[in-house]
Structure 1
Amino acid sequence: MPAFSFQQVDVFSSQPMRGNPLAVVADADALGEAQMQAFANWTNLSETTFLLSPRDPKAHYRVRIFTPKQELPFAGHPTLGSCHVWLSQSGAVAADEIVQECEAGLIRIRRDSQRLSFAAPPLRREGPVEAEIVERVARGLEIPIGSIRAVNWIDNGPGWMGVLLDSRRDVLAVKPDFAVLAGLRVGIVGPFDSAEDGTEAQFEVRALTAAGFEDPVTGSLNAGLAQWLIGGGIAPPTYIAAQGTALGRAGRVHVHQQGDDIWIGGEVANCIKGTVTL
């Protein structure tokens, strides 16, 4: 059986085991979709990615992104983690901007010292969330519906909606009922109180997946949240979001608007490196 170069990295953290893990198989052109899905199911991480030769001449590489159950057209922490591994495999490229090809199209990625950032892709769905879904979300979060400041679709592929609460304390106090939320992807966000929470970040984020678990640090969600919050004047053009606190992680997502683009960035830490036989 053929062996492939393999790495497991931690995304949105400079320290191993404090961010969101990602498994990456390099030079995976010989693998079929069924093999990729089977390996992603076996790793049982939120996502596993496979680096391939690009089909689009404008791209440096192509990536396919799998959860244990299905392929995703785009996801944030797999984008940054895959780029980190591709750079380590290919050597440094002259350009400061790398172009990743995925099922959602071409994604631009920038390097700034140790940090990688991707340009948030366009939202596929945005705007108000239906009243019956908002009522269900409130029940699933076990909070009064009146404590929700705003709800918006912020779907850039996975299907996220954003729920704005009054404070970081309120976000961390949520005890989700995943049976009620089944099938919904709910991102919760609340602002820091600088006197109570410090100034290391400005927002706390939590990602409740449709599969019934909380994701530690989520690039696609933060991209959608940033487009909503900055566009609505709720967040400044540059801020840091903390995520993973409720799970004992310390993820940090750096958000920066430049012109029409919103860049979502973080550091990537190496954890495991070797080969995998498939």
Structure 2
Amino acid sequence: MSLTVPFKQVDVFTEVPFKGNPVAVINFLDTDESEVTQEQLQAIANWTNLSETTFLFKPSDERYDYKLRIFTPQIELPFAGHPTIGSCNAFLEFTKNTTATSLVQECKAGAISLTINEGLISFKAALFDFEGISDEVITGYEQSLGLKFIAAPALLRTGPNWVVALVNDAETCFNANPNFAMITEQSKQNEHSGVILAGPKKNATVRNSYEIRAFCPVDTIDEDPVCGSGSVALARYLQELYKFEETTKITISQGGRLGRDGHIEATIMKEADGNTSYHVAGHAITVVNGKITL
């Protein structure tokens, strides 16, 4: 059976086309999920060859606005950041919804709350673990990146399993030249998705401003241009490191080494009940509209 459905390619964490991180979004909102197979979805994601391709389906119940499935060229992910923001933007356009200020996304990581404010889309990250890693693994990553970390890295399971590492400044982060073969081997051995490398901007006019890079060669993407789940991981890591006692906003730039200019806002929010939540926000712009046929 031939099936033709709408398709968009959305640039995320930018207001300027071709300067962010693209995600392919396929609209199956009018198709029963049982009509397409896991193999078909994976084949499409492998074909687009983007870091992620997503598929919009009808939600399982009325608590959600839509269901999202997220694929790299090789595997399905429970959650990812820039695909969530880009897919939200696509959903609003597919459904011609110009008034929504909040939505709930259903995905394998659970319910993801989204807010929309003058084009800025923000998601509240699902709860996730902070885990230490061994000195031996840390040394391996230092060798693969050719630099020294200024604090012990940690493993953050934010959908992908990111190792977050901090260096002295933004320039050190920007100029790093990793050995991708070594990172691939270490990621496979330790079941990691890759490394989020971050450095603070020492002379920035905004406090808590960072340059980050996301290395994930084990998923065939040597460097992700602009990474939402990595920004969540960084925010959680910084909270563990610095113990912020008030709601704190972190501004993040990413993608310069790849000719991009991505901008992310991450917020460590202190809730009224005393808990801490993590939010990531960015803009998105559609650059391709079309159809795809199975």
Superposition TM-score, scaled by structure 1 size: 0.93
Does 1:256 find its partner at 2:261? no
Counterpart of 1:149 in structure 2: which amino acid?
Answer: A
Query: Map of 1:66-105 to 2, 5 A cutoff?
Result: 66-92=71-97, 96-105=101-110
- Distance in 1 between residues matched to 2:268 and 2:164, nearest whole Å: 19
Q: Which runs of 5+ in 2 are unaligned?
A: none
Conserved 8 A contact 1:73-1:103: yes
Does 1:232 find its partner at 2:237? no
Conserved 8 A contact 2:5-2:27: yes
1:150 corresponds to: 152
Conserved 8 A contact 1:56-1:101: no
Does 1:243 find its partner at 2:247? no
1:108 paired residue among 110, 113, 117: 113
**SS of equivalent residue, structure 2 residue 153:** strand
2:37 corresponds to: 32
| CA shift for structure 1 position 198 | 5.7
Query: Map of 1:101-140 to 2, 5 A cutoff?
Result: 101-123=106-128, 125-140=129-144
- Distance in 2 between residues matched to 1:43 and 1:138, nearest whole Å: 32
2:171 paired residue among 165, 169, 172: 169
**Deviations 1:48-106, CA, capped at 9 Å, x for gaps:** 00000001321100011011111001100110111111111113276522100001111
Counterpart of 2:15 in structure 1: which amino acid?
Answer: S
Conserved 8 A contact 2:111-2:126: no
Q: Which runs of 5+ in 1 are unaligned?
A: none
- Distance in 1 between residues matched to 2:243 and 2:215, nearest whole Å: 22
Number of equivalences: 273
Q: Which runs of 4+ in 1 moved over 3 A?
A: 197-201
Percent sequence identity over matched residues?
35
Superposition TM-score, scaled by structure 2 size: 0.88
- Distance in 2 between residues matched to 1:2 and 1:211, nearest whole Å: 29
Q: CA RMSD for the aligned pairs?
A: 1.8
Conserved 8 A contact 2:100-2:116: no
**SS of equivalent residue, structure 1 residue 100:** strand
| CA shift for structure 1 position 44 | 0.4
Counterpart of 1:163 in structure 2: which amino acid?
Answer: A
Counterpart of 1:110 in structure 2: which amino acid?
Answer: T
Conserved 8 A contact 2:67-2:107: yes
- Distance in 2 between residues matched to 1:121 and 1:6, nearest whole Å: 27
**SS of equivalent residue, structure 1 residue 91:** coil
